[in-house]
Amino acid sequence: MGTLIKQELYKLVHKRGTWLALAFMVLTQIGFAIIGKFNPEILPIDSLIASNYIGGALIIFIMIASTATIISMEFQYGTIKQLLYRQYYRSQIFISKIIVLLLQFLVLQVVATLMTFILTFILKPDFHWQAPFGHQTFIKQYFLSMGGNWLVTLLLLSFVLLLATWFKTNAAAIVSGFVGYFIVQIASSLLILLIGRWEWLKWNPLTMLLVQAQINSPDMSKVTMLSTSTMVAGALIYTVIFTVIAYFSFRKHSV
Q: What is the pLDDT of residues 8-49, one digit of tens each?
A: 888 888 888 889 999 999 999 999 999 988 888 888 888 899
How much of the chain, in percent, has pLDDT values that exceed 90? 30
Calculate ∠ Cα 207-103-110, nearest 5°.
80
3 state SS of 114? helix
Mean pLDDT of the chain: 84
Counting beta carbons within 10 angstroms of the beta carbon of residue 76, is it exposed (0 to 12), middle (13 to 18) or buried (19 or more)? middle
d(CA 208, CA 206): 5
Higher pLDDT, 67 or 134: 67
Tens digit of pLDDT for each residue in 66-101?
A: 888 887 776 665 566 565 556 667 778 888 889 999
**Given this model, what pLDDT does residue 233 score?**
94
Residue ranges of domains in the chain = 2-123+137-252
DSSP letter for 201, please: G
Please tell me whether the overall predicted TM-score, pTM, comes out greater than 0.85 for this model.
Answer: yes
In this model, does residue 202 exceed pLDDT 70?
yes
Q: 234-255, pLDDT tens digit by residue?
A: 999 999 999 999 989 888 765 5
DSSP codes of every residue in 79-113: HHHHHHHTT--HHHHHHHHHHHHHHHHHHHHHHHH
- Per-residue pLDDT, 118: 94
Residue 5: closest CA among 91, 93, 96, 98 = 96
